[in-house]
Amino acid sequence: MAVTYNESTKIFTLQTAETTYQMMVGRYDILQHLYYGKRVDGSTMEYLLWGTDVGFSGNPYEAEGDRTFSLDTQPQEYPSQGVGDYRTSCLEVVNPDGSMAADFRYVSHEITKGAYTITGMPAVYDEEGNNSLGNNSLGSTTLSILLKDASTGLELVLKYGVFEKEDVITRAAELRNSTEGTVSLEKMLSVCLDMPFGKWDMIHFHGRHAMERQTERTPLCHGTVSFGSKRGTSSHHHNPSLLLCTPQTTEDAGDCYGMTFVYSGNFIAGAEVEQMGQTRVFMGIHPESFCFRLAPGDTFETPQVIMSYSDKGFTDLSHKFHKIIRDHICRGKYKYARRPVLINNWEATYFDFNEEKILKIASQAAELGIEMLVLDDGWFGKRNGDCSGLGDWFVNPDKLPEGLSGLSEKINAMGMKFGLWFEPEMISEDSELYRAHPDWALRIPGRKPNRSRFQLVLDMSRRDVRDYLFERMSDILSNARIDYVKWDMNRSMCDIYSAALPAERQGEVYHRCILGVYELLERLTSAFPDLMIEGCSGGGGRFDAAMLYYSPQIWCSDDTDAVERLEIQYGTSFLYPIGTVGSHVSACPNHQTGRITPFHTRGVVAMAGSFGYELDLNTLPQNEKEEVKKQVSDYKKYYELIHQGAYYRLNGAGAFHGQEFVAWSFVSEDKKQALVNLVITHTRANSKPVFIKLKGLDAAAVYRLEDGRCLSGSALMNAGICIPSASGEYRAVQFELNAQ
Ligand code: GLA
């Protein structure tokens, strides 16, 4: 049984293949956390609870003369404010009487088969039998625990999704206002994880535009280490994910926990080490600029957090996240179907194109085996630069005299699919839409709004705004053959104020906007089930599990430099499956960095993702055109291996600190085939040979290398291999191994 409750000990045990999560209805019906980590059988962990009289840590009234039990020191499942726990709380409310406290005690619970859903938000789903590969036969269990504050009547439901085979536990919470007055909800996180002892490092993924998901490993210290986003998107600046590990943990060994937020808006995440050396990890919606009014009978649901644990280091933990996201977050036709190799015109033309130019790019691409042309920004309204046109989703006849249907027909006639760029959530002041509906933009009355890339943000909390976007997008998608949409979002949000909401509801706007984005995406994906959406926010500014629910791949970064991409894709790979990473070969010198890299290297790096091109192929010399043909056919050949295989970071943790190369591999599920990749990042005179140890092979099998050598899996993994001819600036090596 994945979830059990022992009536006499009052202990909940959540078991997955390799982990155990335990909690207990403890003294005074307080829900206490007992354990999360490597699987334990045959014992319950209430013996880990301790209690001493800790000065300045008070005691619940019921404890009477016992000064050893304090909410300030006991591990808890979902701590709230105002009742004696001075650590980071999950919940802050202002009650109808103005008091700011919530004291939740256990009432009842329910164990049900299948995954829970969250109203209006993505969540890990349990879709038995819907996997063409036939490896998706899980069957998860949900535990819902009802708690209540006896003095106000406020009710809290904690939800746990247990995915046994995947070693994943999901968490979310729901607050019900069962009081008689209005409650103001000022903070509501999704998860708290109390660890009673241990020295921990935290790894998180920070960055900036065109430099997303840089890894940073920090030892925790007393106090709080936290990060988050207040930009209205999950952001380039901090990915909504964290890892917690021991100082000794490496790629291949050691304890590590992972958490990722299934949400695309503001978030906060972090860890607090408190007075007794205990660690509290937390994640949820950022409480700043957040305030929800709950009338009697109203509920508020938090987004979900996906958690997993491994005692075998980061690679194993990554594999667990890759599987759950690939198989139980990503949806739709292109979840498993091979996605077309695409060419995008952005870096080839920017705004300066017409039908003739696009067709020239497309016909050269078709000749070289590329399968889809994506028309990027600039095809609509008066969009000849980034100052105007957003919101006017009508084709520009000066650029495309035969419209999108004319263009797509010509591209289809070349044997290619056609894709189109949209930035639905935005509005330019210089647009027909803004002139007609200035109140559709987020703006604070009486203030000049903050501009970013000269654009304002549409108020996605409004139904009329979403209806307009749905009408425009579905009209375009129905009147031309469009197989793919690149859904962009190119600024951080600001000036948070909705003209459609009363003053007391303005604290809801950030969250309501994200719910609006999900609602529109849901409507479109239901109306156009065969459409493939690629997410984007100035590259990877909204690379999160929630967006992956609607778009199985996300443009990973606006930085297309192959060397920079190594680090961006490395950080992304800790939580997200490789197939979710949109990655293209672009022109050199690279438009973002000016760096020159070999064409082959650009191909090898872009193949660690959903592959495509972003340049004018007509400008390439013949030998590079031949290389395009080979890359496209190699990518098709290795598609299953890259998208469904196990991904290995071969450098070891900290690949970007003092190493001269970056290496990674893909190994098929049956371990019969592997693809090894390596890029030299620092060329030296008189260079040393490069040795790497391969991973994930069958130790007993014998593998044939492309050069004809036959070596055992154990030799390749334990003794390693010298990489042939790896010298030269930014040279790449890619080779295949096949078990005999
Ligand atoms: C963003 C995207 C780019 C491109 C431009 C168009 O920056 O990340 O790929 O689509 O917008 O304006």
| Predicted confidence (pLDDT) per residue in 670-728, tens digit | 999 999 999 999 888 888 888 999 999 999 999 999 999 999 999 999 999 998 766 67
Per-residue confidence (pLDDT) for residue 133, from 0 to 100: 40
Please give the number of the atom of ligand 1 that sits closest to the Cα of 537. Answer: 8
Nearest CA to ligand 1 atom 6: 377
Instruction: Name the residue of 343, 352, 377 to mutate for ligand 1: max ligand atoms within 8 A of Cβ.
Output: 377
- pLDDT of the residue at 134: 40
What's the pLDDT at 442?
98
Mean pLDDT of the chain: 96
Confidence of residue 653 (pLDDT cuts 50, 70, 90): low
- Please tell me the predicted confidence (pLDDT) of residue 131: 41
Residue 138, pLDDT score: 54
| DSSP SS3 for 676 | strand
Ligand 1 geometric centre to CA of 532 (Å): 18
* Side-chain half-sphere exposure of 138, counting CA atoms within 13 A: 27
Can you tell me the mean pLDDT for 73-89? 97
Average pLDDT over residues 367-391: 98
Check if 558 has its Cβ closer than 6 Å to any atom of ligand 1. Answer: yes
Strands 31-38 and 3-6: unpaired
Separation of CA 649 and ligand 1 centre (Å): 29
Q: What is the largest CA-CA distance in the chain?
A: 86
Q: State how far the Cα of 641 lies from the Cα of 630, in Å rounded to an integer.
A: 17
Q: What angle do CA 426, 511, 265 make, to 5 degrees?
A: 70
Q: Provide the percentage of residues in the chain whose pLDDT is more than 90.
A: 94
Ligand 1 lined by 421 (C-beta under 6 Å)? yes
Please report the pLDDT score of residue 130 as a whole number. Answer: 43
Q: Checking DSSP bridges between strand 581-586 and strand 610-614, what pairing results, if any? A: parallel
Rounded CA-CA distance 11/457 in Å is: 48
Output the pLDDT for position 726.
Answer: 60
Name the pLDDT band for 17 (thresholds 50, 70, 90).
very high
Tell me, using a 6 A CB cutoff, whether residue 638 lines ligand 1: no
Closest residue to atom 2 of ligand 1, CA basis:
538
For 120-175, the pLDDT digits (tens) are: 999 999 974 444 444 444 589 999 999 999 999 999 999 999 999 999 999 999 99
Residue 596 is given by DSSP the state -
CA distance 541 to 491: 9
Give yes or no for a cis peptide into 552 (omega within 30° of 0). no
- Compute, in angstroms, the gap from residue 347 CA to the centroid of ligand 1: 9
Nearest CA to ligand 1 atom 7: 538
Q: Tell me, what's the pLDDT at 129?
A: 45
Map out the domains of the chain with their CATH numbers.
Answer: 78-328 (2.70.98.60), 339-644 (3.20.20.70), 652-739 (2.60.40.1180)
> What six digits make up the tokens of 455?
């654009």
Q: Which residues have a catalytic role annotated?
A: 544, 624
**Ligand 1 contact via 614 beta carbon (within 6 Å):** no
Q: What is the pTM of this model?
A: 0.98
**What residues have CB less than 8 Å from 306, skipping those under 6 apart?**
124, 168, 170, 259, 260, 262, 321, 324, 325, 545
pLDDT at 685: 83
Q: Where are the beta strands (DSSP E) in 103-167?
A: 104-113, 141-149, 155-163
Is the beta carbon of 539 within 6 A of some atom in ligand 1? yes
The pair of structure tokens assigned to 448 is: 């000049």
**Which candidate, 446, 457, 449, 440, places its Cα nearest to that of 499?**
440
The residue that leads in pLDDT, 683 or 448, is 448
The predicted pLDDT at position 416 comes to: 98
CB of 422 sitting under 6 A from ligand 1: no
Of the candidates 440, 530, 442, 453, the one whose C-alpha atom is nearest the C-alpha of residue 485 is: 530
To 10 degrees, what angle do helices 562-572 and 599-606 make?
Answer: 10
- Mean pLDDT score, 178-202: 97
557 CA distance to ligand 1 middle (Å): 9
pLDDT at 82 over 80: yes
| Distances in whole angstroms, Cα of residue 643 to Cα of each of 135, 327, 377, 577, 732 | 14, 11, 28, 8, 21
Residues in contact with 231: Cβ distance below 8 Å, sequence separation at least 6, in sequence order: 237, 266, 492, 493
Distance, in Å, from the CA atom of 606 to the CA atom of 584, rounded to the nearest integer, reads 5
552-607 pLDDT, tens digit per residue, is 999 999 999 999 999 999 999 999 999 999 999 999 999 999 999 999 999 999 99
What pLDDT sits at residue 346? 98
CB of 254 sitting under 6 A from ligand 1:
no
User: What is the model's pLDDT at position 557?
Assistant: 98
Residue bearing the bigger pLDDT, 108 or 132:
108
